[in-house]
Structure 1
Amino acid sequence: MFDQHKPVPLKSMNFNVNAPLPDTRSQIAVVTPSFNQAEFVAQTVESVLSQNEKLLEYVVQDGGSTDNTADVLQKYAGQLRFFSEKDEGQADAINKGFSKTKAPIMGWLNSDDLLLPGALQRVAATFAANPDADVLYGNRLLIDEHNNVIGEWVLPYHDEIVMRHVNYIPQETLFWRRRAWERAGGNIDVNFDFALDWEFILRLCRTGSRFIHVPEFLGAFRCHEMQKTATNFQTRGRQEIANLRRMYRAGGSFKNGIAHARFLAAHRLAHSKACKPVFTSVDR
C-alpha cells in the first residue's frame, strides 16, 4: 500500500523481538501450500521454524511439484510434516494441510512469503490476552526476490464495513481460533483461486467472529513476476472480487464511501508514523 521505496535489506530491520511477552504455551498450526516454489520455499520454512514455538504444528502441503521442492525440504525432516500429492489448487492444499492438525490457533503461509521474527509469539500472546477474540492480523512488509524490503503496509484499525468492500487484511499475518474456523464451515472455498483469503475473511465476519488488528509487522509478502497476484488479477482476480461484493452486498453506499475515505486517511497517517522506527539505519 502506498509508494514503494529503494530496496533495503530485510536483515537491517529492527523488530524488537526481545519485547517482554507472556509464555503462553499456545499451540499454533501453520500450513504452507506449495507448488513449484523451490526458489523460495526454504526461506518460508525457515521463517516459521525460527519462531522457536515448541508447540508448533507445521505442515507443508505440496501439490506434486515438478521442480526440486521435495529435495529442498528433505533437510527439514523431523521439524515439519511434508506431504506431496495432487490437489485441486491452493484452497484444496490448505484444507488438506489443516485436516492434519489439531492446534487451537491456525494460519497459513504461502510458499513465497515469510513470517517475521517473533510473529508467532506475538500471535499467541495476543490471543491469550484477548480470550473473546476469534481472529487477528497485523501489518506487512513488501519484499522482493532478494529479501529486500521495498514497501510497508501499516493498517490503522479494524473496520468491518471497509473490509466488506475492500480486503486490506494481509493474508500472511492472519491467524484465527479453530472454533472460528469450524463455525465458518471448516474450510477454504475451493471455488476461489485469487480471492480465497477474502472469501474466508467475509465468512468469518458473517459467522460472528471478533477481529483484532495487532499494530506490529508480523509477515512479509513477496513481490515477484510469477506470483498469482501479478499474473491472475486482471482475469480471474477481478471476477472473483466482483462476485464476492455481490454475494456479501458490499455496495457503494454513501456510508461505505465515508468509512472507506476515513480509513484510508488513517491508514496513510499510521503508515507515516510506524515505518521510520523499523529501520535501524536506512537512507530512504
Structure 2
Amino acid sequence: MISKYKISVVIPTFNRASLLDRALGSVFQQNSTEFEVVVSDNCSTDNTTEVVEKYRKHNNFKYNRNESNIGMVGNWQKAICDVATADWFILLSDDDFIIDRFFISNVINAIDNSNPIFVCSGAEIHDVTERCIKEFALPFDGLTPGIELFLSRGKTQPLDSVLCSMAFKRADALELGFFANENNLSCDSELYLKLCTLGDFYYIKTPQTAYTLHQNNLIRSINKYKEFRDGNIDYLINSITFAKSHGVSDHVIKQFIKNTGLKIKLIKTILMLRVSNEYWYIDFLARINTIAPDLIDLVALQVRVLWVFIKPFKSYFYEKYKLISLRSELN
C-alpha cells in the first residue's frame, strides 16, 4: 500500500504520560503536513490513554497498545513494521521532543533534493542529572560520505549519536536486521553504522530535536544484565562484519576498532561474564569466535593475563561486576 505520508514519526512509550504529552505536542507544532504520528504503547499502567485522547482528533494520528510489554526493541518493531506506513521514519522516544518546527520539512527537503542513505541533525541534550543543556554537534554539513560518520564513532562528546535526530528508510531497517536482537539496545547505532558503509548521509547542522539524558535511560542497564551486555558488544561486531563484507578497508576497520574502544569493551565483557557465570563466558566466546574470530584473537592474551590476576579475588570482582540474567528477574 502506498502511503500518502512522507515520514512516520514513531513514538514508542511506556508509563511516561506527561513526557509523552510534551513529545506529541512538539510534533504537532511542525509546519509540515507530510507526516503521520504513530504512538505504540507498551502496555502502560499510567494515564497514557488519557493523553492519547487529546490527539485522536488529528487525521494523521495512530495509536497502538500492546496487550503485554514486549520490550523496547519489540515495541519499536511493532510500531515501524506493523503500524507505520510511510517510506521513511523518525524514532522519537517518549521522553524526547522536537525543538525546531521546521525539522520534518528540513528532513523532507534533504530527502527530495539530495537522495541520502539517511538523514541526521544536530540536537540538544537535556541532562536531567546535571541540570544543564549540552549541544550535540557533528563536524559535517549537508551531503557527506557515510564513511566519515562511521569513523567519527567514539570520537564525539557527549554522545556519538542522537536517535531522535535521525530519519531512516523503513525498507533499510527491515533489510539490515534492525530488530534482529531484542537485547541489542544499540540497534539504532548498528543501523546507521551499517548504512554509513553504503553511501552518503545528509547532515543538518542546526539543533532540531532534544534528547533527554537521565538515570532511567535503559541503555544504562548494560552493566547490570547479561543479555544487554552481550547486545552492546553485538552492535559493534555486527557493524564491523557488515563493513568488511561491503569492501571497507582493513585500515578503516582498525581505526574504527580503536575509536570505539571495542578491544577494551570486549575484554571487559568477557571478564564480567566469566566472573558472573562460567557457562555464560563459554557460550559468549563460542558465539563471537564463530562470527568474528579475529577479534577473539585480538584480546586473547590480555584476557588470560588479567584472569590470572582476577581469579584469586573472584569473590570481590563478583560483587563489584556481576551480571544477572533478565530471565531470572522475570521469573
Asked if TM exceeds 0.5, the reply is yes
Give 5+ residue unaligned stretches, structure 2: 141-145, 242-249, 261-331
* Distance of 1:255 and 1:196 partners within structure 2: 21
Of 41, 44, 69, the residue aligned with 1:65 is 44
Give percent identity, aligned residues only: 21
Question: Which protein has the larger Cα radius of gyration, Structure 1 or Structure 2?
Answer: 2
Deviation at 1:93, TM superposition (A): 1.2
Matched residue, 2:111: 127
CA contact (8 A) 2:151 2:259 kept: yes
* Distance of 1:215 and 1:197 partners within structure 2: 20
- Gap change, CA 1:134 and 1:93, over 3 Å in 2: same
Deviation at 1:182, TM superposition (A): 4.4
Matched residue, 1:45: 24
Matched residue, 1:92: 74
Q: Check if 1:180 corresponds to 2:172.
A: yes
CA contact (8 A) 2:99 2:209 kept: yes
CA contact (8 A) 2:23 2:98 kept: yes
Q: Check if 1:54 corresponds to 2:33.
A: yes
CA contact (8 A) 2:7 2:34 kept: yes
- Gap change, CA 1:195 and 1:252, over 3 Å in 2: farther
1:69-96 C-alpha deviation (Å, 9 max, x unpaired): 1112211113221111124211111121
What's the C-alpha RMSD, in Å, of the aligned pairs?
3.2
Give 5+ residue unaligned stretches, structure 1: 1-24, 262-284
* Greater fraction helix: 2
* Distance of 1:254 and 1:202 partners within structure 2: 12
Of 94, 103, 108, the residue aligned with 1:111 is 94
Matched residue, 1:137: 120
- Gap change, CA 1:112 and 1:205, over 3 Å in 2: same
Q: Check if 1:74 corresponds to 2:26.
A: no
Q: Which TM-score applies when normalising by structure 1?
A: 0.70
- Gap change, CA 1:178 and 1:225, over 3 Å in 2: closer
Q: Check if 1:221 corresponds to 2:211.
A: yes
Instruction: Give the 5 Å matches for 1:1-284.
Output: 27-79=6-58, 80-85=61-66, 86-98=68-80, 99-117=82-100, 118-131=102-115, 133-144=116-127, 150-157=133-140, 159-162=148-151, 168-185=160-177, 187-205=178-196, 208-229=198-219, 231-236=220-225, 238-249=229-240, 256=255, 260=259
Helix, strand or coil: the match of 1:138?
A: strand
1:129-149 C-alpha deviation (Å, 9 max, x unpaired): 102x12011111012559x75
Q: Which TM-score applies when normalising by structure 2?
A: 0.61
* Distance of 1:115 and 1:252 partners within structure 2: 38
195-204 or 40-49, which deviates more:
195-204
